[in-house]
Each structure stands twice: as C-alpha cells, then as structure tokens.
A and B are shown apart, each in its own frame.
Chain A
Amino acid sequence: GENVEQHPSTLSVQEGDSAVIKCTYSDSASNYFPWYKQELGKGPQLIIDIRSNVGEKKDQRIAVTLNKTAKHFSLHITETQPEDSAVYFCAASGKTSYDKVIFGPGTSLSVIP
C-alpha cells in the first residue's frame, strides 16, 4: 500500500519568511496529492491539491510542486503570517481522487512574529 513520508516534523520561521515542507510517496499509481492544514482542536482543512498531470500549482501565498519521477512533492508558503501556524499534512491518493487518502505524519509550523 501507499506510504507517505514528510519532513521536517517541526519548522519555525520568522514572520515574512518562506516555509517549505517536503513529502515523498511510495506508490507510483498515486495521482492526487492534497495538502491539509490542521489547527488545534479542529479537523484537517484542505488548502491546496495537485494532480499528477501538473507539475506546479499556486494559490496566492501557497504553491505545491510535484515530481512524479522522483515521487516527491512539496508545499511552499511565502510571506508567512502568524495565522499560518498549524500542523500541515501532505497526502496521496491512488487511481482517482475519490480513493482514500493516505496522510503523512505532519509538520508543525510555527511562525514567530
């Protein structure tokens, strides 16, 4: 089955700096890669996703890149703000985007004002 690894496990950045979270996946059949943000006491919130036929996708301060050959994908947050502080999960899904999502272990991001 699919296995998703994520690094780093914790990340601290100064407000205004960029943050990068990297993930790898094992199943070459996976073709949908969502990213979730989870704040304390809340459920995960979908913030951006990318399909395997796209190498990069951007939404305001958030961008994701995907290298299918290397089975790597990354989340980039620019101009970080204190409200970006949360746990971020990368995930992978196989065959179609309707299949179950396999999550990475998470990255705790702290943005220091």
Chain B
Amino acid sequence: DTGVSQNPRHKITKRGQNVTFRCDPISEHNRLYWYRQTLGQGPEFLTYFQNEAQLEKSRLLSDRFSAERPKGSFSTLEIQRTEQGDSAMYLCASSLEAGSFFGQGTRLTVV
C-alpha cells in the first residue's frame, strides 16, 4: 500500500494523559498536513510542513499540541494533558503538486 499511513487507527486515553500519533506520507510527497475532524464537520486545518519545515500553524493548535517532521519524511502529532474536547479524528494528508491525499485517520477518544 503506497498511500498515506496513520497509526494508531484508534486511541482511547484518560484525560490528562499525553498521546502521540504518527503519519507516514506518500514517499515522494514533500508537503504534509494535519487536520482535525469532529463528527458531522469538515476537516479543520491544524498545521503543515514542507519537508522538515513547519510553515504554518492554526490557532486551533494550542500550546498542548506539537507536531514534528524531523527528517522530512514521517510526522508525529503530540497532544499533552489531553482534554475531553480533544476527542476527534486526526487526519494526515500529503501532497506533491495538486491535490492532497489523506490517510485513514486516528480516532482519539478522551475519557
């Protein structure tokens, strides 16, 4: 499978715990995006990388959130001190030219 891969697919965590998600983009894609999607809504932009550089961060990305793409390949999204409002689907997408290709997402449930 040469698509965008996200792990884990599902994560249940207790409030206050830290969680980390991983995204492996399509190998030749230099741009990588993180989005958050809540039930019944469209994906909301969080941040994006060109190679290893983080070029833009949304206001939605509070100081509890951090994303990295250390070698310009895979990326991680960490949420510290999770809150119930963080429960959502976290989507990763990658692109090279036109069009972003999305992974299956990581569904986070904070209990």
Asked if A and B bind, the verdict is: yes
Give residues in A with beta carbon < 8 Å to B.
4, 32, 34, 36, 41-46, 49, 51, 89, 91, 97-98, 100-106
A33 to B40, CA, bound (A): 21
Q: A49-B99, A97-B99, A100-B48 are in contact. Are A42 and B104 (CB under 8 A)?
A: yes
**Contact at B100–A34, with CB atoms within 8 Å?**
yes
Q: A34-B100, A43-B91, A44-B102 are in contact. Are A98 and B45 (CB under 8 A)?
A: no
**A46-B100, A49-B99, A106-B41 given. 20 additional CB < 8 A pairs?**
A4-B42, A34-B99, A42-B104, A42-B105, A43-B91, A43-B102, A43-B103, A43-B105, A44-B43, A46-B99, A49-B98, A51-B98, A97-B95, A97-B97, A98-B50, A98-B97, A102-B45, A103-B44, A105-B40, A105-B41
Residues of B within 8 A of A103 (CB): 42-44
A95 to B33, CA, bound (A): 17
A36 to B50, CA, bound (A): 22
Nearest-Cβ distance from residue A53 to partner chain B, whole angstroms: 13
**Contact at B42–A45, with CB atoms within 8 Å?**
no
Which of chain A's residues has its CB closest to B47's CB?
A100
- In the complex, whether B69 has a CB less than 8 A from a CB of chain A is no
A100 to B104, CA, bound (A): 18
A72 to B44, CA, bound (A): 21
Nearest-Cβ distance from residue B25 to partner chain A, whole angstroms: 13
Q: A103-B42, A104-B42 are in contact. Are A43 and B98 (CB under 8 A)?
A: no
A27 to B46, CA, bound (A): 19
B92-111 CB mask vs A (1 if < 8 Å, else 0) is 01010111111111000000
Nearest-Cβ distance from residue A41 to partner chain B, whole angstroms: 8
